[in-house]
Amino acid sequence: MESALLTACLVLAGVFRYSCSMIVVKILLGLVGLGVVVFVHELGHFLAARAMGIEVEAFSIGWGKAFLKRKIGGVEYRLGVFPIGGYCKMKGENDLRDKSAASEDGVFTPEPGGFYAAHPFRRIVVAFAGPFFNVLFAVAVFSVIWGIGFETPTLENRIVLVSDISGDSGYPATAAGLRTGDRIIEIDGKPCTNYHDVQQAVALNPGRALPFTVLRDNKLINLTVTPEMDKETATGKIGVYFWTDPVIGRVIPDSPAAKAGLQPGDRIVSMEGMDFPYSAALTTIFAGREDVPETVRVEWERAGQQYAGTLDLAETGTLGIEWQLPVYKTPHYGFFGAIAKGASETWTTFAASVKSLTFFFKGIDFTKAVSGPVRITYMVGDVATSGFAESAGSGLRSLVEFLAFISIALCVMNLLPLPILDGGLILLFLVEIVRRRPVPPRAVAVFQTFGVVLIGGLMLVALFGDILFLVNQG
């Protein structure tokens, strides 16, 4: 159905020519990953159509010309040349747009056994099934992840004020009285155990006064912070970095840090003569410079002994280190506990996605805040490659978890009551039930034309932003 348009856009994204080979790899990985999400969506439509007695003419795994097809039970099953997504072609689903389907007096005559010959309630079930299967996919993925359990590096709930780094005090966190070193224990009555909890609470509540409980000098302090809207990301922000101890977790081979003798476990004490209490201090070191310095003087501590050296950044422009992060271990969940946790996380993500839609009316920068097919595809591939760089297990977990988030987003977007989307079809069929007669084809045509123009315009804006995004990755 409507996801055929999305799949076609993803194909265009996949063949988008760009000079950086790594970006191409990420896009190709992203295409395969997103193809799974689109396939699940179309599978929902297919199974629901069959259950509702609507004839399905073809169901394809993959897009493009079918290199293998076989007809079983009246349905032609196809394998497309592009192994991404798929589509479900139901009998008569395009009849309403076909002028020949309506007689001169404007009365619509559906094909027997076709989509529009079915009762509107049955059509609602079929239209809803696609987004519903996206939700089921997310529940299944989250349940498996929490059932198996995992360990993941994460940032703490301790903060560093951006104002202490930049010197600009115009941030909500600074105005509210937060200080560098504070540990955020609770926001709006909900506990915060790591940076993700803090980030989610702040991102979803721009403009809302949030009660914070922080731990400072072994004392609990209550403050009120009002996140401001970040128009480039369409999320709330308060002006904090998350505290990371300046302890090296990994040294990239042949990097400036490796050549200078730095090793995992070393603690950076100072850089360029400046104290280095947390990793965010690196921003202070390079602040105000137009270019990365050719050399950087570093002092570090190892097993109680002090060392010093000079890092040559002339060739790479980077230090070549990754900071050591605390490892978060998930609690053990049994079968039913994992399903309950998976359903809970799916609902939380779904609610957050719905809430984020309201931010579109608050003056955001659409070219940066709205991701089109190219950028989404790149992001999926980026998550996959970053995860696999750590280990196969970490890469697979990161990929399927991110696909679950994308699946929920696809569900939310498709349920919007806009023409050509599942939500628009459901709205038309509800009107038909209330009127007790079909909506006039001419009115439907106008409704759908409006939808094509609206969605097409948003797609163009998103694609323009995607191109700028990819250029900045180079």
Q: What is the average per-residue pLDDT within 52-73?
A: 86
Contact 55, 88 (CB under 8 A): no
Same domain, 135 and 155: no
Dist CA 411 CA 430 (whole Å):
19
Q: CB neighbours of 207 closer than 8 A, spacing ≥ 6? A: 226, 227, 228, 229, 236, 362
Q: Residue 319's domain spans which residues?
A: 248-323
Same domain, 16 and 108: yes
For 297-349, what is each residue's pLDDT tens digit? 999 999 889 999 888 887 777 788 888 888 777 777 888 888 998 898 888 87
State yes or no: pLDDT of 96 exceeds 70: no
The sign of the torsion formed by the CA atoms of 78, 84, 85, 89 equals negative
| pLDDT given for residue 183 in this prediction | 93
| pLDDT given for residue 428 in this prediction | 84
Lowest mean pLDDT among 163-167, 206-210, 461-465: 461-465
Contact 134, 41 (CB under 8 A): yes
Q: Encode 269-336 in three state secondary structure.
A: EEECCEECCCCCHHHHHHCCCCCCCCEEEEEEEECCEEEEEEEECCCCCCCCEEECCCEEECCCCCHH
Same domain, 313 and 219: no
Same domain, 196 and 262: no
Same domain, 79 and 200: no
The model carries a pTM of: 0.69
The fraction of the chain above a pLDDT of 70, given in percent, is: 70
- Tell which of 323, 355, 384 closes a domain: 323
Token digits of residue 184: 């955020």
Which residues are designated catalytic? 42
* 20 or 418, greater pLDDT: 418
For 175-227, what is each residue's pLDDT tens digit? 999 999 999 999 999 898 888 788 888 887 888 899 999 999 999 999 999 98
Same domain, 193 and 94: no
Q: What is the average per-residue pLDDT within 59-83?
A: 83
Q: CB neighbours of 377 closer than 8 A, spacing ≥ 6? A: 10, 13, 14, 27, 30, 31, 34
Same domain, 228 and 253: no
| pLDDT given for residue 239 in this prediction | 87
